[in-house]
Amino acid sequence: MNGDSVARLKWGAALVLGLALSACAPASGPAAADPRAALIGGWQDFRLAEYDLATKAFSSALAGAAQGSDERIQALFGLANVWNLRRPGEDPDRARGYYQQVLQEAPGHDLAAWSDLALVRMQHVVPVGQEPDIKAVRAGYQRIIGTYPGHLASKEATIYLNASLIATLDPALTWQAVSNLTAFIGSGTREFRAPAWSLLAVSYQSLKKPRERLEAEIKAFENVEIDPANPFNEFAWAYWNIATIAEFEVGDFDLARGYYRRLIEEYPADVRVFPSKEALLRMDRVEAELRAGREASP
Amino acid sequence: MIGRVLAFLRSYFAMLVVAGTFLWSAGAIVKYRAAQYPSDAIILRLGHWQLEASVREAIDEMAAEYRRTVNPKVYLVQDAIPEGTYGQWVSTQLMGGTAPDILQVGSMLPGNIWLSYYQRYFVPLGRYVERPNPHNDGTVHAGVPLRKTYKDGMKTAYVDEMQEYMSIPLAQFGSRVFYNKDLLKKLTGLDTPPDEYRAFLKVCEQIRAQKGDDGKFYVPIAGSGYHFGMMGGLMWEPLTFRAIEKADFNRDGSVGNDEQFVAFRTGRLDFDFLPYRARFKMIEELTRHFQSGYTGLTRDEAVFLFAQQKAVFMATGTWDARSLQEQAKGQFEVGVMRYPFPAPDDPFYGPVAPARPREQVGSGFQFGITRTSAHPEIALDFLLFLASRIGNEQLNRIIGWIPAIQDTETDPLLRAFEPNIVGIFGAMNFTLGGETVIKWGQLHALYQVGQITYDQFAKEYKPFYLERGLMDYREQSRDWRRGMHRNELFLAGIRARALFSEGAESNTEWIRYRALTANRQVWAELDRSRQLKLMEQGLEKDAVGPYEYKPEVLAAVKARILAAKETP
């Protein structure tokens, strides 16, 4: 190989290396000068599970945001979420730090309530193999309910708190949940009203109060919030649930018939249509046997 | 001068040859394409895995129709890629930024990979599904939102994790029994086979008793591992339907693996239960008519047997209908029938078969639009053309599939695929995970090939299931909190979208956040503690069956009847 060939090879190698390095160069993050765009980009990256990019975008927003500005709080909240929820590579301590920073710098900001709730959720939704300190978790939810009255985060905390009480299957704690949820519904809130009624229904089931359970299930159905674009929204399950409780736990066959029929008419392709038709025949038969003074066969 | 040229050529000869070849190839392609398409043509590329001749032909014909009736500038180039390599091909095309404008999606890669591709590389279609399809003007679907023109409400296109519509489905699929009409006539004298189970078995006996020209006995049903599962879903699994009455303790209309275990542990269910016995008996009776060694055969081997006219029946789906017809052309006529099923008055199966099985029908053959498309709006318009009432009917008529759009005509061959949407369904769930699933698979395989009887199966499996079941269940559900964490992550993204939205959109986004929070994060802990209680403690002493009346409930009904009698 002569000197020219070596020189040509060197130039070629340098060119290839240059091209390779340029291809490997990280994409430039959003400009620090536009924190709003960086925040939007950060959340987009977060949803795409591009956590490094999301961290970079939120950091860039933080660097570009003025002290005390809304953008700064948003950026801190974004960073907290990434370090809290990313897998792998999570850093709970760093996440807690950012959430705390939001609470310290802007206790009156909308995101303060969400940060506070996230701190409690970190205690509640623990890694596999660990058990949460449920007393501390419940105290945390209770604190949020007291600190941010009327805020959506507070309403969400109410639902989590009472679900955890009902999950014990302990009658005393379940009664406590009934009291809390009744008060929550009585406050006139619209948000999370349907899950509150559903939790009441589950409580009454545990407490063996079928009539109250049935009423709560109907209220839950009447108050359900629907995402209009979701094609999987349907009431077939709710109809079936109410109908079977009415038939087998309360003995209100007329109410049961109404809901079985609604299921058959409104959801003709639902899996429970055939069992609903059988249920209508079964109730007719049972009533006929009882009318004739006979024992109803199962 | 010449010397310097020669020296240059000598030094760079290899590079010059490569460059020259490249330029020649590029020139040839440009010249070829230029001759194919006008200079102002808009070229859409469409990638899919349907290698059936009728699919390619149908897409080409529909593209020509679109050019003729909608946009004369649009030309379509198909990239038909074999199933085995489609996943890799899609991945390299998407990552390299060279993907076609339109791509078939939803299969050939794991669901989580598609999810990440949808997020990165595809155009969300949510904003279009609530608008009418412009190609439906002048039809019954004029002014109707796109998703409401679909037979299944466009559920297949909705990606729950993104809360978005990401594709346009174009066909529906179902499965049936195909048969060789000529061979059936020759061997049994019948023009059409019976779809009553007992009569069908008799026909199978008649077929397997006869030999072909090669001296070998005919096979009544061409089977394989693939076909076994397909037939089971619409033949023997639904026979277990009555187990719901015994074990659906939470009355959700199905038997969960925890409920199945508790029902066995408390003695409410056993392998003596007639529906279970019936399931296994039907497997034994039917698979006797498959070719020997079917469990180790593939789908293609069964199709081969059918195409060679050595078997009379074969279960398969609409996706194979046209290609089976093509293979049989000039040799025999293909017929389609419902799966045979016992009559309600059948002396053995009747009590467990109160109705025909219910069929779940969904859409498929779905296409997404890539973000790198140079003409996304034209790609969308072309897909909407294919999803219009007339377009979808025409496309599926050429392919030989079932249209996905309502009020469309189906090919006469496929009318037998009209689904039975009201009926019974399977209710047997032994999938607790771990060792119990492995044991089930091992013993079931032995039963399928006739090495053990049902009673031997039951005797060996039951004690193992009862001993290992709780342990397997605990192991399987150990990571339930991992699911909660995933939801937490998902909801953080949804909430951020709500926080950044304004006006009416903000309202919708917050409703979505609340609905998803309520559905996903409230019940996990509650369900788990109730399931564990059921698994560990069993049923309460005075518990009646989930679909039985307690004495006090019957008393309430009786009191109401008496009160009604007394009321004048």
Percent share of chain B, pLDDT over 70: 99
Average pLDDT over residues B243-259: 91
Q: What is the pLDDT of residues B218-236, one digit of tens each?
A: 999 999 998 999 999 999 9
Average pLDDT over residues B80-95: 95
Interchain pair B251, A43: CB under 8 A:
no
Distances (CA, A) of B525 to A125, A167, B368, B475: 10, 6, 37, 16
What 3-state DSSP class applies to B263? helix
**pLDDT surpassing 90 at residue A4:** no
Nearest CA in chain A to B358: A271
| pLDDT given for residue A18 in this prediction | 54
Q: What is the pLDDT of residues B41-53, one digit of tens each?
A: 999 999 999 987 7
Residues 173-202 of B with CB under 8 A from A: none
Mean pLDDT of chain B: 92
Interchain pair B508, A227: CB under 8 A:
yes
> What is the longest distance spanned by two Cα atoms in chain A?
114
| pLDDT given for residue B440 in this prediction | 96
Token pair of B230 as six digits: 């397909």
| pLDDT given for residue A13 in this prediction | 56
Rounded Cα distance, A106 and B481, in Å: 32
**pLDDT surpassing 70 at residue A5:** no
Q: What is the pLDDT of residues B527-537, one digit of tens each?
A: 888 888 887 88
Q: What is the pLDDT of residues B281-290, one digit of tens each?
A: 999 999 999 9
A269 touches chain B (CB under 8 A): yes
Q: Which residues contact A269 (CB under 8 A, 6 or more apart)?
A: B421
Rounded Cα distance, B98 and B112, in Å: 22
Average pLDDT over residues B237-246: 96
| pLDDT given for residue A109 in this prediction | 97
DSSP B108: S
Interchain pair A163, B160: CB under 8 A:
no
Chain A residues close to B484, C-beta within 8 Å: 125
Amino acid at B483: G
How confident is residue B99, by pLDDT bands cut at 50, 70 and 90?
A: very high
How confident is residue B323, by pLDDT bands cut at 50, 70 and 90?
A: confident
B564 touches chain A (CB under 8 A): no
Nearest CA in chain A to B157: A231
| pLDDT given for residue B118 in this prediction | 94
Pairing of strands B402-403, B168-172: antiparallel
The long-range contacts involving B509-513, CB below 8 angstroms and separated by at least 24 positions, are: B510/A152, B511/A225, B511/A226, B511/A227, B512/A227, B512/A230, B512/B163
In sequence order, the β-bridge partners of residue B369 are B102
Q: Are B337 and B176 in contact (CB under 8 A)?
A: yes
Q: Which of B123, B58, B66, B153 is nearest to B368 (CA)?
A: B123
Nearest CA in chain A to B147: A231
As annotated, the residues of chain A forming the CATH 1.25.40 domain(s) are 30-125, 133-225
**pLDDT surpassing 50 at residue B197:** yes
Q: What is the pLDDT of residues A42-59, one digit of tens each?
A: 999 998 889 999 999 999
Percent share of chain B, pLDDT over 90: 72
Q: What is the pLDDT of residues A137-167, one digit of tens each?
A: 999 999 999 999 999 999 999 999 999 999 9
Residue B369 sits at the vertex; the CA angle it makes with B365 and B372, to the nearest 5 degrees, is 145
Q: Are B381 and B44 in contact (CB under 8 A)?
A: no
**pLDDT surpassing 50 at residue A26:** no
| pLDDT given for residue B313 in this prediction | 98
Q: Are A208 and A169 in contact (CB under 8 A)?
A: no
> Across the A/B interface, how many CB contacts are shorter than 8 Å?
173
Rounded Cα distance, A147 and A31, in Å: 37
Interchain pair A268, B421: CB under 8 A:
yes
Q: What is the pLDDT of residues B61-83, one digit of tens each?
A: 999 999 999 999 999 999 999 98
Distance between terminal CA atoms of chain A?
A: 97
Chain A residues close to B515, C-beta within 8 Å: 225-227, 230
Q: Which CATH class is domain A30-125?
A: mainly alpha
How confident is residue B504, by pLDDT bands cut at 50, 70 and 90?
A: confident
Token pair of B243 as six digits: 């187990």
How confident is residue A23, by pLDDT bands cut at 50, 70 and 90?
A: very low
| pLDDT given for residue B322 in this prediction | 81
**pLDDT surpassing 70 at residue A22:** no
Question: Please, where are the H alpha helices in B70-148?
Answer: 83-96, 111-121, 126-129
- A133-225 belongs to CATH 1.25.40: yes
Q: What is the pLDDT of residues A61-112, one digit of tens each?
A: 999 999 999 999 999 999 999 999 999 999 999 999 999 999 999 999 999 9
Interchain pair B561, A156: CB under 8 A:
no
Chain B residues close to A128, C-beta within 8 Å: 478-479, 481-482
Please name the member of B158, B424, B557 whose beta carbon is closest to the beta carbon of A232. Answer: B158
Percent share of chain A, pLDDT over 70: 89
Q: Are B278 and B351 in contact (CB under 8 A)?
A: no
Residues 455-514 of B with CB under 8 A from A: 478-479, 481-482, 484-485, 488-489, 492-493, 495-497, 499-500, 508, 510-512, 514
| pLDDT given for residue B1 in this prediction | 73
Nearest CA in chain B to A131: B481
| pLDDT given for residue B300 in this prediction | 86
Q: How far is CA A132 from the centre of its chain?
A: 18
Instruction: Produce one character per residue of B28-46: b if its CB has 16 or more CB atoms within 10 Å, e if not.
Output: eeeeeeeeeeeeeebebbb
How confident is residue B327, by pLDDT bands cut at 50, 70 and 90?
A: confident
| pLDDT given for residue B360 in this prediction | 82
Average pLDDT over residues B255-274: 92
Percent share of chain A, pLDDT over 90: 78
| pLDDT given for residue A232 in this prediction | 79
Rounded Cα distance, A79 and A84, in Å: 8
Q: Which residues contact B540 (CB under 8 A, 6 or more apart)?
A: none
Average pLDDT over residues A244-268: 96
**pLDDT surpassing 80 at residue A281:** yes
| pLDDT given for residue A32 in this prediction | 52
Q: What is the pLDDT of residues A207-230, one digit of tens each?
A: 999 999 999 999 999 999 987 778
Q: What is the pLDDT of residues B448-459, one digit of tens each?
A: 999 999 999 999
Helix A193-206, helix A210-222: angle, nearest 10: 170
**pLDDT surpassing 60 at residue B97:** yes
Neighbours of B413 (CB within 10 A): 17
Neighbours of A97 (CB within 10 A): 14
| pLDDT given for residue A240 in this prediction | 97
